[in-house]
């Protein structure tokens, strides 16, 4: 084999190596790229201060059904004084466990605002939650923690809740008047303090409107 033939052979080997690497890369992308991409929920634009801790998919708290539209943001209180956002998130997650949930309770919310003002997202905004029956298919739900039996929110919780509600209104093209209580959906005394004190509820909505106007 002369020098020229050797050079030709060398360049053919290089081309073969490049082709093999490209083929391997394509195969890896095909095998792992798609599941990786499909884990990113489409149209899930929660504000960046929100910590995503999605529940595992299960029929008791995250059925994985599509949320087709959002007409109202619904506010709740957890009715369990002093519990954290994370504890309430884990409660929803554990409903999938038949030992922890022998009664087969179904419950969940998209967001939970905690005692320190932290915000946990349990369910992607592309999916329904189980909090606003019979409005689960056109609402987003926010559970809110509270320090005592009155159900009144702490200052830190209140600040985060009004910010989150304003941001969600902005995202869905809603106004503060579209933010409603669980009580307005089903008549349940939830969120307790803001059902018993109509003026406190009106003030909360006014504070959401102020934050929305500032955007
Ligand atoms: Zn409620």
Cα(1) to ligand 1 centroid in Å equals 84
Q: How many CA atoms lie within 13 A of 128 on its CB side?
A: 20
Query: Tokens for 180?
Result: 């409603």
Cα(2) to ligand 1 centroid in Å equals 84
Cα(196) to ligand 1 centroid in Å equals 14
Query: What strand order describes the sheet that includes 119-121?
Result: 50-52, 119-121, 111-113, 139-144, 72-75, 179-181
Cα(55) to ligand 1 centroid in Å equals 19
Query: Tokens for 105?
Result: 């309770």
Cα(181) to ligand 1 centroid in Å equals 8
Q: What local confidence, expressed as pLDDT, does residue 112 receive?
A: 98
Q: What local confidence, expressed as pLDDT, does residue 19 receive?
A: 84
Interval 110-123: pLDDT, tens = 999 999 999 999 99
Cα(131) to ligand 1 centroid in Å equals 7
Q: Cα-flanking dihedrals φ and ψ of residue 50, to 5°?
A: -85, 135
- Domain 50-213 is found in CATH 3.40.80.10: yes
- What are the domain boundaries of the chain? 1-40, 50-213
Residue 70 has pLDDT above 60, yes or no: yes
CA 64 to CA 38: how far, in whole Å? 14
Cα(100) to ligand 1 centroid in Å equals 21
Per-residue confidence band for 48, with pLDDT thresholds at 50, 70 and 90: confident
Q: What local confidence, expressed as pLDDT, does residue 200 receive?
A: 98
pTM given for the model: 0.80
Q: What local confidence, expressed as pLDDT, does residue 33 receive?
A: 54
Cβ neighbours of residue 20 closer than 8 Å, sequence gap 6 or more? none
């Amino acid at each position: 084999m002369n020098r020229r033939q050797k050079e030709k052979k060398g360049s053919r080997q290089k081309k073969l190596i490049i082709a093999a690497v490209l083929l391997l890369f394509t195969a890896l992308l095909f095998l792992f790229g798609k599941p990786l991409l499909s884990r990113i929920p489409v149209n899930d634009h929660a504000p960046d201060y929100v910590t995503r801790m999605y529940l595992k998919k299960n029929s008791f708290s995250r059925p994985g059904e599509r949320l087709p539209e959002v007409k109202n943001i619904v506010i709740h209180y957890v009715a369990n004084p002093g519990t954290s956002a994370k504890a309430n998130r884990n409660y929803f997650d554990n409903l999938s466990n038949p030992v922890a949930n022998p009664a087969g309770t179904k419950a969940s919310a998209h967001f939970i605002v905690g005692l320190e003002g932290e915000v946990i997202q349990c369910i992607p905004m592309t999916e329904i939650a189980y909090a606003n029956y019979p409005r689960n298919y056109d609402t987003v739900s926010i559970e809110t923690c509270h320090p005592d039996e009155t159900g009144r929110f702490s200052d830190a919780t209140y600040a985060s809740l009004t910010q989150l509600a304003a941001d969600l209104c902005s995202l869905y093209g809603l106004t503060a008047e579209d933010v409603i209580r669980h009580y307005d959906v089903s008549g349940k005394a939830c969120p307790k303090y803001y059902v018993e004190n109509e003026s406190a509820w009106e003030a909360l909505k006014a504070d959401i409107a102020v934050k929305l106007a500032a955007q």
